[in-house]
Every structure is written in C-alpha cells, then in structure tokens.
A and B are shown apart, each in its own frame.
Chain A
Amino acid sequence: METAISAEGLRKRYGDHQALNGIDLEVPAGSILGVLGPNGAGKTTTVRILTTLLTPDEGRATVAGFDLATQQKQIRANVGLTGQYAAVDERLTGRENLQLIGTLLRLGRRGARARADELLEKFDLTAAAGRMAKTYSGGMRRRLDLAASLVAAPPVLFLDEPTTGLDLTSRLALWGMIKEQVHNGVTVLLTTQYLEEADQLADSIVVIDKGLVIADGTPDELKRKVGGERLEVTVATDADLAAATRVLAELSSGEPTVDQETRTVSVPMGGGVSTIAAAALGLERLGIEPQDFAVRRSSLDDVFLALTGQPGAAPATEPTPAGDPAQPKEMQAA
C-alpha cells in the first residue's frame, strides 16, 4: 500500500528538554493514524515538524510523497493543518476566513468564493457564513478551522487535538466530518488525549510518551496486548465490596482491582462463562445484590494506563502507578 506519511528517527530538543527522542511513523494512504499520549509527550511537536513549521534536529520524513528536508513548499501545498486551538480570524466572517485562505492559495477571487461556499455548506456553517467568527460557538469555530485546513483539498490532513474542549454533540459532528474526509481518500494523522476518539476514528494507533513511540498497532491489538476481558462488579456498601472482592479473588488468577469510591471491583477473566456463573453464584450465596455486573473488554484507557502509568483524558498531576484503579469513563457491559 502507498505510504502517505513516513517518519524515521525524528528528534527535537528545546534547550535541555528532549521533546522528541526518535519518533518513527508510517501512515498508509487513505487511513487514519491516531497519535495518543499525555500532555508534553511530543504529539504537537511531531505534527509541527511534519507540517514544516518546525525543523527537526535529526531524522527524515516524507509527507504526501515529498521530502521534508528539501521540498517544504510542496508539502505545504499538499497538507492541511488544524492546530490545537481554532486558528480563525475572529474579526472576519466565516466566509471571509475561508476566502482569505483561498486567495492565498491562488484560487482566484471567484474560485476562492466558490470553494468557501462549498465548504461552508459541507460543514453546516452556511447560516452563519456572514457573521464574525468571534460570535461562533466552540464547535462552530472548530468546524470553520477544519474547513480552513481543507480549502486546498489536501491529500494529507493533520489534526492536532481537534475536539479538545468540545461538547459531545459537536465532537460527534466533527468525527463524522473527519470520517467523511477519509472516505474521500484523505490520509489523516490525528493527535488526541481522548482514547475514545482514537478508538472511534483511528485505523491504527501509536502511543507516544516522553518523545518515544512506546506502542503501536490497531486499537484491538493494543487492547489485546494489555489483557482481554475483565469481570466487573459494583456493589452498594463497603462491607459488600470487601466480600465481593474475596469472591472474585478466588475465581481469577489475576489481582482484583478495587475502586473504593465507586465500590467497584474487577478481575481479569480466565474461564469465560464458567467464571461468570461462579461469580454470580458466589455473590448470591453471600446475599450480595450487585448494582452492576458486567464483562468489559479493556478500553484504551486501560492500555494507556498500563503503558504510560498515567490515565488518559484528564492528565494526572502526578503519575499514577500502573494498576491503580483509575476509573475509566465508560462502564458498560461489552
């Protein structure tokens, strides 16, 4: 398969801080690569290097078939970039923002106008096209920002935390728009702190921490790597929690993980249905009525926690030791 983005041994140092420590990446054309990592892991630095905004100290890369060291201008003509904050001109209208980009891309007056209208329509901004961007909601700004990065119809798109700070509806809308781009053959490199986002969108994922790729694979591969399914029980009282923990501990070879706050205990599942049956029986014998009884596949949160020692999404101020019962956001039966 054709490769749209490839990077080899990217290194970048700021003063005495080694931001990138040798990043390798490979993104097949027409796919989405999710780059996961905590704050300061080097996600943004990687994006800025690959979009020619930063020069790496070491390493090579090609983007959209052009060499990063010698063909920067061609790369800029063939990539779109949506940065961490919506980079729109607040004092221009939505349409003017897109027209400006179009003019700078030499689409001509009429061409820029037509392209702007087309994108406004696609991103559901036509009604607000004549309003100044500073009156836009967060979600609208992000959509305008994404539209601005697509004016040139670039074959490669870089999205640096595109949905940070958005509400769920806006996030879902943006996801849909990103998926549509990929459907049309665009290659996307997406950084995110939201594991769910990577899970939803990415064909493959690299996890980076402290400037290094520490894991890569498809979302499923990564989840399998960290350990299949877990049986999870939530109870009503602290006394029940202790009892339930004892019951589950006997059934599994793995250590039970206990969250006192939500009164939830979970263990790795070994024996499939028989484990579930035994657990149910054990709880019933002790007269414990679980509030929640579920089999859950590892989420990317678990992967993230196991790999980096930090929970995803909300970055911890102190590193949490691996195996600490950081509460995943989603708690559903698989």
Chain B
Amino acid sequence: MTEVFSDTFALAGRQMRHIRRMPEQLLGITVMPVAFVLVFGYLFGSAMQVPGQGGYKEYIMAGIFAQVMLANLTTTAVGVVEDLNNGLVDRFRALPISRSSVLLGRTVADLVLVSWTSAVMALVGYLIGWRAHNGVLQTLAGFGLLLLMGFVMSWVGALVGLSLRSPEAVSALAGVVMMPLAFLSNAFVPPQGLPGWMRVIVEWNPVSAVVSAARDLFGNERGESSGAFPSEHPVLAAVLVLAALLAVVIPLAGRAYQRAAAKR
C-alpha cells in the first residue's frame, strides 16, 4: 500500500515538474475559466433574470466551477493518450512498480491542477462580487464536492483516452458529450423557465445535482425546488451519483489500461 502511495506521488510529481518547466502552461489552463467568469458575470449577467438577491454573478459561479470540472475529462484523456503513444506507459509498465500508480498519478496530478484553477477562479469571482454565505465549513464542502466531480471526470477521461488512443478522437468525443452535459443543466440557465420536457432532462442531469449542491453549500440562490429528487436533495444526489460513477469507472479504466498497454 505504501508502494502505491510513493509511486503515485513520484508520477504525479512528474506532472508538477512539467509545470515548473513551463509555467506558461499554468497560465494556459487558468485563462479560459477566468474568462468564463468575466464573460458570464458581466456580459450575460446584465441580461439574465435569476432567482434570489445575488444576481447572475452569484448564480453562475457554481455553474462555471462544474463546467471546469467537466473539462477535466479532456485534460486527463489527452495526457493518457500522449503517454500511451510516446511509449512512456510501456516504460512504466516494465518497471517493478504498482500498476495502478500510473493512472492514479495522472488523476491526482490533474486534481491538483484543477484545484489551482478553482482557487484562481474563486478569487476572480470574489473580486467581481461573488460571495459564499454559509461559513467556512460549508464553503469548503462545496469545493470538495466540485473537486470530487473533477476527480471522477478525470477517471472517465482516463477510460476514454485508453479506449480511443488518439488525441483527435478524444477532443471530438469530448465536444459531443460535454456540450449537452454542461448546457442541458442548470449550470448557466435557471431551469424554472424551460419548456417541460427539457426541464425534466435538466433536473435529472447529474451535472445539475452537483451545481445545485454547490449552490446550496455556498449559500447561493438557486430558485425553488421542482420536487424531483435531485432538486430536493442535491447534496445527497450529487454524492451518490459521483460515488457510483467512480466505483464503476475506476475498475473499467484499470482494465482498459491493461488492455491498451498490451496492444500493438
């Protein structure tokens, strides 16, 4: 067990070194989310009607956080494909190290990076007027839940990357899957005004559950509940769906790793 830990640590450290070598990379991954915060907060915010006193700036933050967590899928998938195609996975697999540590190292490193991104976003959000109202513990719980989502998406990304093995295929699929997941949720638009059928989709979209849960924990208004289970108990629903996903996707990714590395 300590083996897994130290190997994972070493392999995650490898990605941290990438950042140290090229600090501009850090800028790269942070610029887009911050731009989102500004564009949504100022541009769209002026035209949006949302529930509660906080206005669109308060409403949107949890949504943008969730979108960034969703995008963690692509980050991990692309990294895994890269390692697979340049032979590094072979190199690691030929070493006497714990086999789970290669994927763990990558997902943990990507979690660290997305945490950094979130911190910068939170700061920018704060500067433009976003506030969390429920105290330190609940706020941290909100970030914890969002980061759990990021970690889960990272493992989904590992599975996707190992199955597709091509960076082009990964970005194509990521676009097709992530767009509807993000936009057919309550991340950017309050579901209260949507047509009935679409509202059902939005309510049961797991992304909505995480966003609602984060809004509740941050104390940001999200309008009245529709009565659907994820809307009534968003924190419970979010934890359940994320835990279930993780339990399914980790073994699948592990198997895909064994298989993908055995190809060629």
Task: Give the docked Cα–Cα distance between A93 and B14 (Å).
Answer: 11
A interface footprint on B1-45 (CB within 8 Å = 1, 0 otherwise)? 000001100110110011001100000000000000000000000
Which positions in B face A, CB cutoff 8 Å? 6-7, 10-11, 13-14, 17-18, 21-22, 86-88, 90-97, 261-262, 264
Min CB–CB distance B151 → chain A (angstroms): 23
Task: Give the docked Cα–Cα distance between A81 and B22 (Å).
Answer: 29
- List residues 43-97 of chain A with CB under 8 A from any CB of chain B: 44, 48, 51-55, 73-74, 76-77, 79-81, 83-93, 96
Task: State whether A81 and B7 are in contact (beta carbons under 8 Å apart), knowing that A54-B262, A87-B88, A92-B14 are contacts in the complex.
Answer: no
Is A316 in the interface zone, CB < 8 Å from B?
no
Task: State whether A77 and B96 are in contact (beta carbons under 8 Å apart), knowing that A83-B87, A87-B90, A90-B86 are contacts in the complex.
Answer: yes
Is A100 in the interface zone, CB < 8 Å from B?
yes
Is A331 in the interface zone, CB < 8 Å from B?
no
Task: State whether A132 and B96 are in contact (beta carbons under 8 Å apart), knowing that A89-B88, A100-B10 are contacts in the complex.
Answer: no
Task: Give the docked Cα–Cα distance between A79 and B91 (Å).
Answer: 11
- List residues 81-137 of chain A with CB under 8 A from any CB of chain B: 81, 83-93, 96, 100-101, 103-106, 132
Nearest 3 CB-CB pairs, A to B?
A: A87-B87, A77-B96, A76-B96
Task: State whether A104 and B97 are in contact (beta carbons under 8 Å apart), knowing that A54-B262, A92-B18, A132-B21 are contacts in the complex.
Answer: yes
* A101 and B95 contact, CB distance less than 8 A: yes
Is A148 in the interface zone, CB < 8 Å from B?
yes
Which positions in A face B, CB cutoff 8 Å? 44, 48, 51-55, 73-74, 76-77, 79-81, 83-93, 96, 100-101, 103-106, 132, 148-149, 152
Closest-by-CB residue of B relative to A132 is: B21
18 new A-B contacts at CB < 8 Å, known A77-B96, A84-B87, A104-B95? A53-B93, A54-B262, A55-B262, A80-B94, A87-B88, A88-B88, A89-B88, A92-B21, A96-B14, A100-B11, A100-B14, A101-B91, A104-B10, A104-B11, A104-B97, A132-B21, A149-B91, A152-B95
Closest-by-CB residue of B relative to A90 is: B86
* A76 and B14 contact, CB distance less than 8 A: no
Min CB–CB distance B211 → chain A (angstroms): 34
Task: State whether A53 and B95 are in contact (beta carbons under 8 Å apart), knowing that A87-B88, A92-B14, A104-B7 are contacts in the complex.
Answer: no
Which residue of the partner chain, among A73, A81, A96, contacts B91 with CB atoms under 8 Å? A81
* B86 and A87 contact, CB distance less than 8 A: yes
Task: Give the docked Cα–Cα distance between A172 and B88 (Å).
Answer: 25
For A152, what are the chain B residues with a Cβ–Cβ distance below 8 Å? 95
* A89 and B87 contact, CB distance less than 8 A: no
* B94 and A92 contact, CB distance less than 8 A: no
Closest-by-CB residue of B relative to A86 is: B87
* B90 and A83 contact, CB distance less than 8 A: yes
Cβ contacts A to B, 5 pairs, < 8 Å: A53-B262, A54-B262, A74-B96, A76-B94, A87-B86
Closest-by-CB residue of B relative to A81 is: B94
For B264, what are the chain A residues with a Cβ–Cβ distance below 8 Å? 44, 48
- Residue of B11, B17, B22 most packed against chain A (CB within 10 A): B17
Closest-by-CB residue of A relative to B15 is: A91
For A148, what are the chain B residues with a Cβ–Cβ distance below 8 Å? 91
For A77, what are the chain B residues with a Cβ–Cβ distance below 8 Å? 96
Closest-by-CB residue of B relative to A84 is: B87
Closest-by-CB residue of A relative to B93 is: A53
Min CB–CB distance B2 → chain A (angstroms): 11
Task: State whether A73 and B87 are in contact (beta carbons under 8 Å apart), knowing that A53-B262, A100-B14 are contacts in the complex.
Answer: no
Min CB–CB distance B43 → chain A (angstroms): 35
* B94 and A53 contact, CB distance less than 8 A: yes
Task: State whether A52 and B21 are in contact (beta carbons under 8 Å apart), knowing that A86-B87, A103-B10 are contacts in the complex.
Answer: no
Which residue of the partner chain, among B21, B87, B90, B96, contacts A91 with CB atoms under 8 Å? B21
* A91 and B18 contact, CB distance less than 8 A: yes
For B88, what are the chain A residues with a Cβ–Cβ distance below 8 Å? 87-89
For A76, what are the chain B residues with a Cβ–Cβ distance below 8 Å? 94-96
For B93, what are the chain A residues with a Cβ–Cβ distance below 8 Å? 52-53
Task: Give the docked Cα–Cα distance between A103 and B93 (Å).
Answer: 15
Task: Give the docked Cα–Cα distance between A88 and B21 (Å).
Answer: 15
Task: Give the docked Cα–Cα distance between A149 and B90 (Å).
Answer: 11
- Residue of A53, A54, A148 most packed against chain B (CB within 10 A): A53
For A54, what are the chain B residues with a Cβ–Cβ distance below 8 Å? 262
Task: Give the docked Cα–Cα distance between A240 and B11 (Å).
Answer: 67
Task: Give the docked Cα–Cα distance between A217 and B264 (Å).
Answer: 29
* B261 and A53 contact, CB distance less than 8 A: yes
Task: Give the docked Cα–Cα distance between A73 and B21 (Å).
Answer: 33
Task: Give the docked Cα–Cα distance between A152 and B262 (Å).
Answer: 23
Task: State whether A85 and B86 are in contact (beta carbons under 8 Å apart), knowing that A54-B262, A100-B14, A132-B21 are contacts in the complex.
Answer: yes
Task: Give the docked Cα–Cα distance between A47 and B92 (Å).
Answer: 15
Task: Give the docked Cα–Cα distance between A96 and B90 (Å).
Answer: 18
Task: Give the docked Cα–Cα distance between A77 and B94 (Å).
Answer: 8
